[in-house]
Amino acid sequence: MIRGLNRSSLDIRLLYGLFIFGLIGIPGLYFTGVVSIEVVNMLGRYLTFAMMALALDLIWGYTGILSLCQALFFSLGGYAMGMYLAHHGGPEGIVDAAGWKIPACLYVVYPYKVGEVPADALTPWFWKPFWSLPVTVILGMAIPGIIAGLIGYFGFRSRVRGVYFAILTQAITVAAVNFFSMNDMKLGGTNGLTRFEYIAGSFQLSDPNVKLTLYLLTLVALFVSYSFCRFIVNSPLGRILVAVRDNERALRFYGYAPHTYKMFAFVVAGMITGLAGMLYTPQMGIFTPHNMEASASVLVVVWVAVGGRGTLSGPIIGALLVNILYNFLTSDRDMLLFTWKAEYWQFVLGALFIAVAVYFNEGLASLLPGRKARAKKLSTDSIDEVSG
């Protein structure tokens, strides 16, 4: 019988406390005028980053797969939502020969004037499914899941692992950036997708109430994603994922097919990350290939490492902490003895990562009482319990 993972009641209570504060405290601070809607909007974006970190922890922390293409999955979801928003935003007037409104972000491809109905300009066929919000939400999670499944199928069946899998995913991400940056692909080129105005019909994205609602939706999505991942890792499946991480060869000896469990975790992580990208786009107001760059995926690894991989709660806290520090330290400000420059932030990030690697190599979550002992016991027992 495979037992579920032991829960760390302290860090779970801490994280649930943060969720409750985000659900009640942040809106309360906004309505009382303590924080502005811009701060709420910023926190909403940071929560999508926390979802990315959570998804990476499922595959890296629990399954031992270091993926450097999380930004690709994030961007696939972001572009899906961006295409929906572009359909319903921007100036009216340029209509193709089939009667479809050409999104404003494609004007760089079709340089026509408002009011013209050009016979040689057509809204791309792959844009049309994203006219509907429900279809967009489904595709925004399904497409990253399918891409993750394809990468996992060919990579894991070929037993590509470790640094080689990281290099593979990095190369795929770089190729995708070049693909999405081309104007001929009709995805906005390097300018990306923008000119967003409305969501879900007539709700204007610039409305503070809509921004607050998007923040709350993101918080709920993070909570549901966390609960789902917690359910997975505390189930018999979670024991197998940890066994894949710790001793894949022994697991194969006992008759399991490790690549199928890797694919499952990779697809789930891709879908969660795609959902995060969809929630990010309307809160940011623009989505470009810059969000897909290799450095973005590396930064997610930093968030997970800082928070503590293999904990689920640690990466969420790590992502929020690093991004809040980023927001504070990327503004020029006069200090007592010198002027702080935004470019100094890179040194702070590097120092933080080095400090965590040297002194807290299990992340900030290792500071919680009993965390190291629980992690060691889990690693030791995983193969024994799977084999039993």
pLDDT in tens, 88-110: 876 555 677 777 777 877 765 55
Rounded Cα distance, 236 and 5, in Å: 8
End-to-end CA, the chain: 6
- Return the closest-CA partner of residue 281 out of 133, 150, 91: 133
The predicted-structure confidence for 349-365, as pLDDT tens digits, reads as follows 888 888 887 877 777 77
The predicted-structure confidence for 365-384, as pLDDT tens digits, reads as follows 777 655 554 555 455 455 45
User: Which residue's entry shows tokens 């968030």?
Assistant: 303
241: left (phi over 0), alpha (psi -120 to 50) or beta: alpha
- With the C-alpha atoms ordered 304, 308, 309, 310, is the resulting torsion angle positive or negative? negative
Of the CA atoms within 13 Å of residue 42, those in its CB half-sphere come to 13
Which three-class secondary structure state does DSSP give residue 135? helix
pLDDT at 167: 95
Rounded Cα distance, 335 and 24, in Å: 34
- Return the closest-CA partner of residue 90 out of 126, 111, 114, 112: 114
pLDDT at 93: 56
The predicted-structure confidence for 285-327, as pLDDT tens digits, reads as follows 999 999 999 989 999 999 999 998 888 999 999 999 999 988 8
- Return the closest-CA partner of residue 331 out of 37, 29, 42: 42
Q: Is-contact 73 147, C-beta < 8 A?
A: yes
- The kind and range of the H/E element at 157 are helix 133-157
Can you point out the beta strands (E) in the chain? 198-199, 203-204, 333-334, 339-340
Q: What is the pTM of this model?
A: 0.89
- Return the closest-CA partner of residue 60 out of 364, 358, 304: 304
Q: Is-contact 232 58, C-beta < 8 A?
A: yes
The answer to whether residue 233 scores a pLDDT higher than 60 is yes
The predicted-structure confidence for 121-161, as pLDDT tens digits, reads as follows 678 889 999 999 999 999 999 999 999 999 999 999 888 88
